[in-house]
Copies of this chain bind each other. A is one copy, B any other.
C-alpha cells in the first residue's frame, strides 16, 4: 500500500470519532508522604484529566494548559507514561466513540492548595496500602496472600498452577526472595486478574474470589494509570536525578532520603545513602545549616545542576536496609 493510499485510509478512519483524553498523575512529597492530586467524585477518586483540544500545539502543552486551569498547579517535570485505548475502556461515551487516554506523570516540588474544591492531595498508599514497607510488612498482605493462595488453588491444571505460583512469588516475593519495590503495576494487574480488587468486578470480570478491601478503588482505569506512574517513578529515581524535581532549593540530606523512601516505600541505610549521593556528585554544599531537624544542625545542600550536564551519571542507588 502506498503512502497516498495510507493517508486516504487514515482520512476514512477519522469518521470514527475518536476522543483523546490527557490524564495526569501529579505527584509531590509532603510531610514524608507521596501524594497525588485526585478529583473527588461521588463514586470514586479520579485523576485530573481533560480532552485534547485543537488549540494545543503539542500533547504536553495540552496537558499543562488543562491542569493549570483546572487545578492551579504549575507543573515542573512532565513525562509521558502510556497510551491506553481498549475499546471496552469507557462505556460512558457510547458505542461509536473510541476513547484514548494518554497518561502523564508530573512532579511538583511543593503541594499548592488545589484550585478547585473537589481536588485534593491524597497519599498514594491509600490506593496501594501493600506498597508501603517503610514501617515493616504491611498487615494487609496477610489478606492479600490468602486471596492469592485461593486464586492459585483455583487453577485449572497443574501447569497453570505453577505459572500462577511463580507469578505471585515474582511480584510479591516470599521468604527467600525479598520485597522488590519496583513492579507496582505487575502487582496491581495480578490483583485485578485474581479478582481481589473491586475494579475487576465492576468491569464485569468473572471471578470467584471475593474482593478484599485491597486499597481504595478509583474511577475507570485510573488506579492502573497510577500504578504505571509509581512503577515508572520508582524505576527512574535509580537512573535519573528526578527526585530533585520534588525538593526545595536547599535541603538537608535526610530530607532527600525521606523523599526517596516515601516514593520507593522502603527504608534506606543512612550512612550509605549519604555516601552514594555525595559520591555521585549529585549535590553540593551551600554553606548554610538548619537546626529545624532536631539534633545536631544539618548541612543544607543543593542539587548540583552541572550533574545534569554531566548527564548519564544516573540517579540514586537504593541502599535498602534489609533487616
Contact = CB atoms under 8 A, between A and B. Distances in A.
A58 B97 CA distance: 14
Interface in A265-294: none
Contacts of A46: 3
Given A46-B3, A170-B312, A83 B59 contact: yes
Interface stretch (A4-12, A149-157, A206-214): A4-12
A16 B86 contact: no
A54 B82 CA distance: 20
A98 B52 contact: yes
Nearest to A313: B170
A88 interface: yes
Contacts of A85: 52, 58-59, 102
Contact of A167 (B9, B116, B309): B309
A183 B102 CA distance: 24
A77 interface: no
A231 interface: no
A310 interface: yes
B2 A118 contact: yes
A99 to B, nearest CB: 7
Interface in A294-319: 306, 309-312
Interface stretch (A17-25, A124-132, A193-201, A246-254): A17-25
A49 interface: yes
- Interface range on chain A: under 10, 10 to 19, 20 to 34, or 35 or more? 35 or more
Given A18-B20, A56-B87, A51 B13 contact: yes
State the main secondary structure of chain A at its contact with B: mixed
B93 A7 contact: yes
Contacts of A162: 309
Contact of A3 (B17, B98, B219, B306): B219
Contact of A99 (B10, B87, B171, B311): B10
Contact of A7 (B52, B92, B171, B312): B92
A102 B85 CA distance: 11
A294 to B, nearest CB: 38
B19 A17 contact: no
Contacts of A17: 14
A118 B219 CA distance: 46
Contacts of A93: 7, 10-11
Contacts of A97: 11, 14
Nearest to A12: B51
Interface in A165-182: 166-167, 169-171, 180, 182
Nearest to A235: B239
8 contacts: A10-B51, A13-B52, A14-B19, A16-B53, A54-B98, A56-B87, A58-B86, A80-B82
Given A166-B309, A167-B311, 20 more contacts: A3-B39, A3-B41, A7-B92, A7-B93, A10-B93, A11-B19, A11-B97, A13-B51, A14-B97, A18-B52, A54-B87, A58-B85, A58-B86, A58-B87, A59-B83, A83-B83, A166-B306, A166-B310, A170-B309, A171-B311
